[in-house]
């Protein structure tokens, strides 16, 4: 059998990308494509799992039975998203345990929004509304991502994300229409989560080192700034409709461009939080690491048990 040359493989790969044919785990792919995907999907998986913590912080204090159940279901969904994504990552040859250890050692990143504290019940509203809302903006185009398993995971995830966004908006809406104390709580949550939510889309296009290649590979379909603009345009009218004020004095409707102009993002804060200096970075990792360490004996027991049973089955 004749060897297919690297050049031919690359041509075939690019051909598929151009024709919007999905790349599947057994297909040949360039090393950098694989690496980029592993980095992006594992970061995404970590974000789902670390993202359980700020909301998990309020499940035990949810104000009524319905809210408690909805929040539990929501946070549980995020664990499910983590699972699909770790599996998608494994199809690229990444080891789940190693991927998780990279998170715990600080080598791998996750969305820096989760390094902000959830200090009031209204934050459950702001997180669902803004953070899941921003996640939807990012993830809907990923349903068309060139890598099959990632695209398919995103289809399942996106269905649930819209429920997350709605439950969050509903929480904040009830507060905004509630007593003065509740309204103040809602406005305060918006004040704290607005700018970090805009940062979720990543650096400005000019500063974003991965964007161009990712777009050529059809992993990404829109630039960071495009997605951020879409988010602002959808979210500002929602805030207005419930009588809350977006904390940006430069925010105004641009008639000519048919979009909102918004103020300058504090990128210094963004990079500080990414580097580990946010208010909760250490807590988040400590808690995740503790869950893994505390679970070691459980995982060992499960493994030992299934080995024993396999041996028994062989003997019998």
The residues binding Fe ion (CB under 5 A) are 48, 78, 81, 132, 161, 164
Alpha-carbon distances, residue 36 vs 29, 33, 186, 208 (angstroms) = 11, 5, 38, 14
Q: How far is the CB of 131 from other proteins (least distance, A)?
A: 15
The Cα diameter of the chain in Å comes to 78
Q: Map residues 244-283 to x or -, x wherever contact with other proteins holds by CB under 8 A.
A: ----------------------------------------
Residue 72 to residue 99: CA distance in whole angstroms: 26
Query: Which stretch, 1-9, 188-196, 198-206, 286-294, contacts other proteins (CB under 8 A)?
Result: 286-294
Q: How far is the CB of 280 from other proteins (least distance, A)?
A: 13
Residue 196 makes CB contacts below 8 A (sequence gap 6+) with 112, 113, 116, 273
Among 3, 7, 31, 294, binds other proteins (CB under 8 A): 294
Q: Are 170 and 46 in contact (CB under 8 A)?
A: no
Give residues 212-241 in contact with other proteins (rule: CB under 8 A): none
Q: Is 159 in the site for other proteins (CB under 8 A)?
A: no
Residue 97 makes CB contacts below 8 A (sequence gap 6+) with none
Which tokens in the block code for residue 63?
């104000």
Q: How far is the CB of 20 from other proteins (least distance, A)?
A: 32
Q: How far is the CB of 68 from Fe ion (least distance, A)?
A: 17
Query: CB atoms < 10 A from the CB of 275, how many?
Result: 12
The separation between the first and the last C-alpha atoms of the chain, rounded to the nearest angstrom, is: 45
Q: Is 21 in the site for other proteins (CB under 8 A)?
A: no
Q: How far is the CB of 311 from Fe ion (least distance, A)?
A: 40
Q: Is 136 in the site for other proteins (CB under 8 A)?
A: no
61 or 156: CB nearest other proteins: 61
Residue 51 to residue 45: CA distance in whole angstroms: 10
Q: Is 49 in the site for other proteins (CB under 8 A)?
A: yes
DSSP state of 252: E
CA dihedral 59, 62, 64, 68 (to 10 degrees): -20
Run of H or E including 134:
helix 133-142
Q: How far is the CB of 55 from other proteins (least distance, A)?
A: 8
> Which residues share a beta bridge with 110?
none
Which tokens in the block code for residue 152?
């398919």
Q: Which of Fe ion, other proteins, none does residue 249 bind (CB under 5 to 8 Å by kind)? A: none
55 or 161: CB nearest other proteins: 55
Q: Which of Fe ion, other proteins, none does residue 69 bind (CB under 5 to 8 Å by kind)? A: other proteins
Query: Which stretch, 51-59, 242-250, 261-269, 274-282, contacts other proteins (CB under 8 A)?
Result: 51-59
Among 110, 114, 121, 169, binds other proteins (CB under 8 A): 121
Q: Is 137 in the site for other proteins (CB under 8 A)?
A: no
Residue 159 makes CB contacts below 8 A (sequence gap 6+) with none
Residue 3 to residue 227: CA distance in whole angstroms: 43
Q: Is 73 in the site for other proteins (CB under 8 A)?
A: yes
Q: Is 285 in the site for other proteins (CB under 8 A)?
A: no
Residue 92 to residue 109: CA distance in whole angstroms: 18
Site residues (vs other proteins, CB under 8 A): 49, 52-53, 56, 59-69, 72-73, 75-76, 79-80, 82-83, 86, 121, 171, 174-175, 178-179, 181-182, 287, 290-292, 294-305, 308
């Amino acid at each position: 059998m004749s060897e297919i040359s690297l050049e031919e493989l690359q041509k075939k790969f690019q051909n598929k990308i151009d024709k919007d044919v999905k790349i599947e785990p057994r297909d040949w792919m360039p090393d950098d494509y694989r690496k980029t995907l592993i980095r992006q999907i594992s970061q995404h998986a970590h974000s789902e799992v670390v993202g359980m913590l700020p909301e998990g912080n309020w499940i035990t204090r949810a104000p009524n039975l319905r809210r408690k159940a909805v929040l539990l279901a929501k946070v549980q969904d995020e664990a499910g998203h983590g699972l699909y994504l770790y599996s998608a990552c494994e199809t690229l040859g990444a080891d789940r345990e190693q991927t998780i250890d990279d998170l715990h050692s600080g080598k791998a990143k996750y969305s820096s929004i989760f390094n902000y504290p959830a200090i009031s019940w209204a934050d459950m509203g702001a997180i669902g509304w803004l953070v899941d809302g921003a996640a939807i903006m990012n993830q809907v185009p990923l349903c068309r991502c060139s890598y099959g398993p990632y695209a398919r995971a995103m289809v399942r995830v996106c269905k649930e994300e819209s429920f997350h966004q709605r439950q969050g908006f509903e929480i904040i809406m009830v507060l905004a229409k509630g007593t003065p104390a509740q309204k103040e709580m809602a406005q305060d949550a918006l004040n704290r989560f607005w700018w970090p939510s805009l940062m979720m889309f990543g650096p400005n296009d000019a500063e974003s080192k991965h964007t161009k290649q990712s777009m050529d590979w059809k992993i990404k379909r829109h630039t960071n700034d495009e997605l951020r603009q879409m988010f602002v345009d959808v979210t500002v009218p929602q805030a207005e409709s419930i009588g809350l004020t977006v904390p940006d004095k430069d925010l105004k409707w641009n008639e000519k461009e048919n979009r909102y102009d918004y103020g300058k993002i504090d990128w210094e804060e963004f990079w500080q939080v990414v580097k580990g200096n946010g208010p909760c970075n250490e807590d988040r990792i400590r808690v995740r690491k503790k869950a893994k360490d505390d679970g070691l004996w459980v995982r060992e027991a499960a493994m030992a048990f299934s080995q024993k049973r396999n041996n028994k089955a062989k003997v019998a």
